[in-house]
Amino acid sequence: MVVGEEPVPQPASKVRHLKKRALKNKSLSVSFNEKDLKDYVTGFHKRKKKRRKEAQKQQEEVLRRKRSEERKKRKLEREFVLYGCPPTNADAEPDETDEHQEDIDQVEPIPEMKTYESGDLTVTVVTSEINPKEESYLSERKEAAGSHPLFSEEKRKLPINNKKAFKKVAKHRPRSKPKSKRNKNKGKKQGKK
């Protein structure tokens, strides 16, 4: 290296070592910035509000999904009650629905009988599928109703009180007018004082 010449800078990729003199020449300055401090301190509250808002949105989304699912279930139940078979999906291919319908027709409904007992009362519930094509269903129903004592032809008369009980109000006794001192004394007997 020749005196008076400036050193030739080498490419940055090859230089991995920083000279101590270069580090010492850089001065360290500390400055106080009120705006940065304010942003840092108020940021806690802002970030907390943001987290709460996001959590609230998530909860609302979950509730919205639940309501949607419940609506779908109610709709399916309503269709099941109206049409007597599980509803078919509109998205499903026609071949799948035909196979599904054939399966439903082949399955025989199994009547189910449950007995509930509470104290001295026993309730028997028979559940079976209603098929509008069968006419014998009505006659079976009448026979079953006739054999059970709860379903007898004559109606039992139970006392029903449709009147609503009124609120009881205490009767007021008529008050006598306050007597003046003179009238009070007049009314007293002479023997008592």
Q: Does residue 91 register a pLDDT over 70?
A: no
Counting every residue, how long is the chain? 193
3-state SS, 34-48, equals: HHHHHHHHHHHHHHH
Q: What is the mean pLDDT of residues 146-169?
A: 61
Q: Answer yes or no: is pLDDT of 14 > 90.
A: no
The better pLDDT of the pair 127, 145 is held by 127
Least confident of 27-36, 50-59, 167-176: 167-176
pLDDT digits (tens, 9 = 90+) for 138-151: 555 555 555 555 54
Two tokens at 62? 């979950």
Give the model confidence (pLDDT) of 183-192 as tens digits: 666 655 555 5
Q: What is the rounded distance in angstroms from the CA atom of residue 101 to the CA atom of residue 96?
A: 9
Token digits of residue 110: 């199994």
Determine contact, residues 115/121, Cβ cutoff 8 Å.
Answer: no
